[in-house]
Structure 1
């Protein structure tokens, strides 16, 4: 038997190195290896080398190292995905950019605006693509809502709402290990980006926070907060409310809403599917319990978008066009971080806090 030769028209995959083999890093690794044809996971770095080796063995990744610098020095790697602890995000982004690697960074992009400014400088100097993991933008219902806002279906946004209720059991055993400000910097920062994204014609101006440790009150003295409600005022007069809680007994609940001069659009629901059971005891429905259940498709889509942007730069092709602003970059990271930092101030003082000029620095560097 003689087979005919075939020339593939598929573009060369983007070769990615992963930094961080923990919960989120492992999901990204499986997406890069198994779910995104345009990407190829070629190396994993994590100081917890056993976790990196186990993940690499599962996925058939040949290169493993405890040192991210090995990924930056590898000429065969086009891009890196940063999924380590938040306090390392900025320096890893800087080092990657200086090595000419494109960067996908989990949120937050940095833990303060000065750090993020250094990332902006490094990315601009290197001319690489930098993207942040605001996955909610890629969830089908949230994106559909954004398209409605863009089309004018809701008119001018006036009232906005976003909520994140993490699943829990009524206690938080690891509360003592949660860094100060986590509810704002690593949880509500998703909500802040969603609100900024929906009301993109305006800037966040001020915040007012009410927050407490209602699940684990014994840790409040150490700065731990597990419950928060944030009011955000925007430059166009719109008012937004974001809320978060760390222990929803019924599951993982993420929703959004935009009310405007011409109507309203909502995104998200508390149930995993639209299926509802009717029985002698009443109604019941399944609920998602994990972030990788609720946002499995969105986590995959954001990395696929990242790979498309990297490939476009590498091959001199046009960047993906999604019809509405979608791919979150440094300006989006700065706007959301500025809100989060203002929230930390407001939570400490009990007073409204101004949001630092969220666009000026990034626009100057663009």
Structure 2
């Protein structure tokens, strides 16, 4: 044979440790192992041994542990992806950052603003890249809408709207296991980020949230809220509305809209594809039933962006250059979390409240608005 040796110019892969082998963790694992060039899923950590080992075996991952601290201590790992339960996100991110690992964290970054302040401090002290999983920014239609807003197509934003309707059957399985305030902290927090992102440069000033248990009314006294509408006032005068339901019988429905002085732009769809069937019975279109079906490209793109940032930090190269603000970092996570916490305070107070830390520029809060700091922690 006359093979010749060739020196590769391909950059070393970004070596990632995954924390959490549940629904989203498994999807991210497949992205890191199979869908994103230049990444290597090096290890998986999850206290539940069976699903973690099954996932590792499927994807050819040799290292599995029940202790996330093993990933932080592993010199072969560049970054961690946190996809465990929300209540552990902050402490896991702090530990990883202090160990010098770059961090991708599923939303919410924390369930508490004071706790998230400790995440911000740890990330700043370590100088690592930290990114939150606000995947809608990476969906092609939402990104196209954001570009239109940035280009001035809609003029000055005046009215904004974002909605999330989870697919359901009219009954929520294991509803009693849904943590209180999930609708704000884990569902609508995506909408809050989308609204903040669309209305770039403005700060959310006040919130008025109304929520109820309309899908499972018998569980309201236990703390379940499955339906909500939120009005957000911004310091540039814009008014936004976000709404959510845990049970849309027709499928998964996520949409956004910006109306301004010069026009309007919309993003999102409630159909699986643009295909529409026309028969003697009428017209019908298939609808998505899973978040990983509707946002498969967005979930993949956000991790690809994360890997590019990590590679740039590790190898000293340029950071990804996006034509509009895209990569959601600590400031974006804090802003969305502040709106979510204000929603909790608003429901508890039965009226509008100020958004903590978001009255920059001395903008006054409308009369009758209570200032609530850290309520409901």
TM-score tier (shorter)? over 0.9
CA contact (8 A) 2:44 2:65 kept: yes
Could you report, residue by residue, the CA deviation over 1:33-54 in whole angstroms, capped at 9, with x for unpaired residues? 0001121000000000111000
Following TM superposition, by how much is the alpha carbon of 1:348 offset from its aligned partner in structure 2, in angstroms?
1.8
CA contact (8 A) 2:56 2:64 kept: yes
Following TM superposition, by how much is the alpha carbon of 1:5 offset from its aligned partner in structure 2, in angstroms?
2.6
Which residue pairs with 1:172 in the alignment? 172
In 2: Cα distance, 1:128 partner to 1:201 partner: 25
Following TM superposition, by how much is the alpha carbon of 1:4 offset from its aligned partner in structure 2, in angstroms?
3.0
Matched, 1:279 2:279: yes
Following TM superposition, by how much is the alpha carbon of 1:174 offset from its aligned partner in structure 2, in angstroms?
1.2
Matched, 1:102 2:113: no
Following TM superposition, by how much is the alpha carbon of 1:2 offset from its aligned partner in structure 2, in angstroms?
2.0
Matched, 1:80 2:85: no
CA contact (8 A) 2:142 2:256 kept: yes
Which residue pairs with 1:227 in the alignment? 227
Following TM superposition, by how much is the alpha carbon of 1:223 offset from its aligned partner in structure 2, in angstroms?
1.2
CA contact (8 A) 1:334 1:359 kept: no
Which residue pairs with 1:293 in the alignment? 293
In 1: Cα distance, 2:313 partner to 2:242 partner: 36
Which residue pairs with 1:339 in the alignment? 339
Which residue pairs with 2:124 in the alignment? 124
In 2: Cα distance, 1:91 partner to 1:176 partner: 26
CA contact (8 A) 1:335 1:359 kept: no
1:233 counterpart SS class:
strand
Which residue pairs with 2:64 in the alignment? 64
CA contact (8 A) 1:130 1:330 kept: yes
Could you report, residue by residue, the CA deviation over 1:88-143 in whole angstroms, capped at 9, with x for unpaired residues? 00000000000000000000001111111000000011000000000000000000
Matched, 1:15 2:15: yes
Give matches, 1:108-187, under 5 Å.
108-187=108-187
CA contact (8 A) 2:235 2:359 kept: no
Which residue pairs with 1:321 in the alignment? 321
In 1: Cα distance, 2:309 partner to 2:359 partner: 22
TM-score, normalising length from structure 1?
0.97
Which residue pairs with 1:246 in the alignment? 246
Structure 1 gap ranges (5+): 361-366
CA contact (8 A) 1:15 1:78 kept: yes
TM-score, normalising length from structure 2?
0.94
In 2: Cα distance, 1:359 partner to 1:103 partner: 29
More displaced, 351-360 or 17-26? 351-360
In 1: Cα distance, 2:358 partner to 2:233 partner: 14
Following TM superposition, by how much is the alpha carbon of 1:11 offset from its aligned partner in structure 2, in angstroms?
1.0
Following TM superposition, by how much is the alpha carbon of 1:191 offset from its aligned partner in structure 2, in angstroms?
0.1
CA contact (8 A) 1:198 1:258 kept: yes
Q: Which runs of 4+ in 1 moved over 3 A?
A: none
In 1: Cα distance, 2:173 partner to 2:21 partner: 22
Instruction: Give the number of equivalent residue pairs.
Output: 360
2:219 counterpart SS class:
helix
Which residue pairs with 1:32 in the alignment? 32
In 2: Cα distance, 1:31 partner to 1:173 partner: 28
1:268 counterpart SS class:
strand
CA contact (8 A) 2:256 2:266 kept: yes
In 2: Cα distance, 1:141 partner to 1:173 partner: 31
More displaced, 194-203 or 7-16? 7-16
Following TM superposition, by how much is the alpha carbon of 1:7 offset from its aligned partner in structure 2, in angstroms?
2.7
